[in-house]
Structure 1
Amino acid sequence: MDTDLLSARETCRLLGISQATLYAYVSRGLLESRPGPDHRSRLYPRQDVERLAQRKRAGRGAARGAAQSLDRGLPVLETQISLIRPDGPYYRGRSAVEAVRTGATLEDIARLLWDCGEHDPFAVEVDGNWPATVATIAGNERLPPLARAMAAIPLLALDVQHSFNSAPRVRHEIAAALLRHNAALLVAQPPFAGPVHRLLAQCWKPDDEGFAELVRAALVVCADHELNVSAFAARVVASTGAHLHATVCSGLAALSGPRHGGATARAYALIADAREAGSARDFIAMRWQRGDDLPGFGHAMYPHGDPRAAELLPRLRELHAGSPMLESLETIIAATEDISGQRPNIDFMLAAICHANGLAATPALVMFAAGRLAGWLAHALEQQAQGRLIRPRARYAGVAPAEPA
């Protein structure tokens, strides 16, 4: 056995835990597991086990526990918006996967996440023209989508009446306009009164109903994922009482980082590189043996596979059955699972949708940003309704001040 990998028994002995606790650690993303030689057992990286053991020995005081909670550890906030379970995210108790299957649109999910009740904020008439203050930016296709949205949205706020009104109905209507405006800005189009998935699909593959349905499904499963980096950023800003346009910009800023929204571009590049290699299987094996990560595969919250990706994959297969690109994607998926034990995540599927439809990498990020904005707004609305400022404390670890003489 590879000395850098430990069996479940050895791992439990070093950590002083039961196998049930070990499985819980894996499900929470605290430990990575890999397939054993017989493909039934699991092995655990020694380095990760020893690091976790050191953390346990260091104690679990309040300060240390709080610090560890910031990296997918213990829950730090209560929310009624979404719940992550092994079978995928749930939006206010409703399965995101089931919502896809019943034909829900992003707008349907937004109304659910925002707890709109019988009120439909999307029924408000949409002005199909941009205000003069943002028209030049909004239509500039040379700007990157996130940059275009982040530049225009603060200016749009200047024309929004009642931006600090606390009435739920008013705030829901502002949120609905923001959802539509953000989607239009991401693809440099005028504001659109119809469903977001149709706006995006028409930009990328006009009059292709099957593709539009795939985009709809992607937006729904991307709408929220509990307290991820961008949602937390939006909640922090919202806790100050800032208007919804500002909270949306904080979410977009967080998403722009390579370790968050940039994951779709890296997954897209992995697919392209694997296809260009003489053997996709050898390419994946080389990366894995070299210690490189495999963008688009594995997810700390879903150690047994990302249900969001599992819902999109059959839809992609049906739409592109028999195509050479789908065969390439299937080869990459099968080889990666066999070699690393990892399955596709949502980043891979968004990138795969783009590859299969002859699109560049950018639409993958646009789908993520257009869908996730519904969740950011839900978190902002919930945080402001709670009326509490998010202000954690830091544990100073720098140079000690000089003692007074």
Structure 2
Amino acid sequence: MTHDAAPHGAGTGHVKSTSGSGPESGTAGEVRRLTTRETAGLLGVKPETVYAYVSRGQLSSRRAPGGRGSMFDAAEVEALARHTGRREHSPAAGDLTFRTGITLIEHDRYYFRGVDATELARHHGYEEVAEWIWTGELRPDVHFRAPAESLTAARRTVAALPAHSGPTDRLRVAVAAAAAADPLRFDLSPRGVLSSARGLIPTLVGALPVRGEEAGDGDRLARRLWPRLSGRPVDAAALTVLDTALALLADHDLAASTLAARVAASAHAHPYAVVSAGLGVLEGPLHGAASGLAHRMLSEVLERGAAAPVVADHLRTGRRVPGLGHRLYTGEDPRARLLFALLADLPRAAPALEAARDVVATTARHTPLHANVDLALAVLSVACGMPAEAGETVFAVSRTAGWIAHALEEYAEQPLRMRPSGQYTGPRPPQPLPSPPGADPAI
């Protein structure tokens, strides 16, 4: 079927008459008519659903001038909107603006459900922050526990991977194993999704290889994650930094991985598949893996004794200096600011923290870029004897909570609403049937 192109300003939640001076323009005494796209916007449905209303006799239509598309009686549409209760605008195909009540970023600060996220992370652990962004309720001292069957399946699957596998490789297969072990994974009710999420996150942590002394299941998630990141013993100050980092990274509006997660949820993929979609994007060096680049840079700064030659090497080879700048903040990333403050209370972090400050100061001579959270994660990983990929692991485990929160929102929306149209740039048809290489075109 042919869908009408939405005129400028259409689909904003109010009825707008079609343009032109003919009888469809809604002049006095004449029927006001809407295009298919305008009708879909007012009803909060996909254009295909509009034609379903016509086939059921709930709307009447007539051909648009020129014979392309259909026009609908505005009064009928408004009456149907009142009857169905759908009065809010639903984004049209290709519109990537989403209603979300999870994270707001403005004025170099960010908020979880209206609460300053840095203050929330300063006073509450990761699991409490996750519950807050999921439900809007604070559950003091909540602890997530992995179902035994899911954890066993995830550990066996991760153990079968090659030794050179990275953390995201392990997390992806752990998610798949946990999904296979959960027969209720297709329950997309909020209660079902949250039950899966509360078991999945500790399963991801528990499936990772152990480097140090393993924590008990009753400990908070940060304590259970630590021996998967470092072979060194943890103290209270270091554990606070890790737990705060997890809480700070739980969500950050519609980052690339979160958009992928919402697309999966829009297709009503189960929550494990939603997390898999997010992990698939996270592995790129421009998103969750960026802290590994910053880790290697700080290690080189410490080895060479100064940031200047290291920064110069990056600039000479056309590489950006990792851990600096963020498109959403004009100043320092608020997540980095809090983590740096906590790292200052960790004596072993002093050399790496000084190296990070040297990088910022050296780069600022030419470009005034501020530290972002990747640089703060790199300070933590370098200072505590963690591998370069540790920040990526922290990011992935933490952001799982945000992906689940966005999935909960998306499950409540019209399914498959994200369907942009491609702009075809290939050869115009009809083209001749292709021939195998070397074949005689005359045969």
Same structural fold, with TM-score higher than 0.5 when normalized by the shorter chain: yes
How far apart are 1:113 and its partner, in Å? 1.2
Aligned to 2:358: 331
Mapped pair 1:176 → 2:202:
no
- Deviation of 1:140 after TM superposition, in Å, equals 5.8
> In structure 1, the residue corresponding to 2:260 is in which secondary structure?
helix
Residue type of the alignment partner of 1:107: E
Q: Per-residue deviation at 1:115? A: 1.5
Q: Percent identity?
A: 31
After TM superposition, give the deviation of residue 351 of structure 1 in Å: 1.0
Q: Does 1:199 align with 2:227?
A: no
| Greater Cα offset, 169-178 or 202-211 | 202-211
Q: Which runs of 5+ in 2 are unaligned?
A: 1-93, 433-443
Written as runs of structure 1 = structure 2, the 5 A alignment for 1:62-211 is: 76-102=97-123, 104-115=124-135, 117=137, 126-128=146-148, 130=150, 133-139=153-159, 142=163, 143-187=165-209, 192-203=217-228, 204=230, 205-211=232-238
- Give distance in 1, aligned partners of 2:139 and 2:332: 36
Confirm or deny that 1:281 pairs with 2:308.
Answer: yes
- Corresponding letter in the other structure for 1:177: G
Q: Rg bigger for which structure?
A: 2
Q: CA RMSD in A?
A: 2.9
Q: What is the CA–CA distance in structure 2 between the aligned matches of 1:125 and 1:325, rounded to whole Å?
A: 34
- 2:430 equivalent in structure 1: 402
> The residue matched to 1:84 in structure 2 has which SS?
strand
3-state secondary structure, aligned to 1:89: strand
Change in 2 beyond 3 A, CA 1:286/1:152: closer
Name whichever structure is richer in helix by fraction. Answer: 1
**2:147, 2:203 within 8 Å by CA — same for their partners in 1?**
no
Q: Look up the equivalent residue of 2:205 and give its one-letter code.
A: A
What is the match of residue 405 of structure 2?
378
Counterpart CA distance in 1 for 2:360 and 2:342 is: 15
Q: TM (normalized to structure 1)?
A: 0.74
> C-alpha offsets along residues 83-133 of structure 1, whole Å, 9 cap, x if unaligned?
11233321111111111222x111111111111647899678644565654
Is the CA contact 1:210–1:319 (under 8 Å) kept in the aligned structure 2? yes
Residues 182-230 of structure 1, C-alpha deviation per residue, up to 9 Å, x if partnerless?
2223455799443221112244243411110000111111110111110
Report the equivalent of 1:37: none
**In structure 2, what is the Cα distance between the partners aligned to 1:322 and 1:164?**
44
In structure 1, the gaps of 5 or more residues are 1-69
Q: Secondary structure at the match of 1:347?
A: helix
* Farther-moved stretch of structure 1 (241-250 vs 276-285): 276-285
Number of aligned residues: 331
Q: Quick one: distance in 1 between partners of 2:321 and 2:144?
A: 44
- Kept after mapping to 2: 8 A contact 1:121/1:172: no
SS of structure 1 residue aligned to 2:101: coil
TM-score, normalisation: structure 2: 0.68
Q: Please give the alpha-carbon distance, in whole angstroms, between the structure 1 residues aligned to 2:160 and 2:308.
A: 41
Secondary structure of residue in 2 paired with 1:114: helix
Q: Aligned partners of 1:308 and 1:211: how far apart in 2?
A: 16
Deviations, residues 317-370 of structure 1 (Å, cap 9, x unaligned): 121278434333332232223332111111111111111222221211111111
Give CA-to-partner distance per residue, 1:227-250, whole Å, 9 cap, x none.
Answer: 111001111111111111111111
**2:416 corresponds to 1:391:** no
Classify the secondary structure of the residue corresponding to 1:318: coil
How far apart in 1 are the matches of 2:144 and 2:303?
49
Q: Relative contact order: is structure 1 or structure 2 higher (C-alpha 8 Å, sep ≥ 6)? A: 1
Query: Distance in 1 between the 2:420 and 2:104 partners?
Result: 23
* CA pair 217-156 structure 1, distance change in 2 beyond 3 A: same
Counterpart AA for 2:260 = A
Structure 1, residues 22-58: CA drift from partner, whole Å, max 9, x if none? xxxxxxxxxxxxxxxxxxxxxxxxxxxxxxxxxxxxx
Change (3 A) 1:403 1:124: closer
Q: 1:311 aligns with which of 338, 345, 362?
A: 338
Alignment partners' CA distance in 1, 2:271 and 2:241? 29
Matches within 5 A, 1:342-381: 342-381=369-408
Q: 1:164 to 1:323 in 2, by over 3 A?
A: closer
Give me the whole-angstrom Cα distance separating, in 2, the residues matched to 1:99 and 1:187: 30
Corresponding residue to 1:267 among 283, 294, 303: 294
User: Distance between the aligned counterparts of 1:369 and 1:350, measured in 2?
Assistant: 13
**1:284–1:123 Cα change, 3 Å:** closer
Q: 1-side partners of 2:221 and 2:381: how far apart?
A: 17
Which residue identity is paired with 2:387? Answer: A
Alignment-derived partner of residue 30 in structure 2:
none
Residue 399 of structure 1 aligns to which amino acid in structure 2?
P
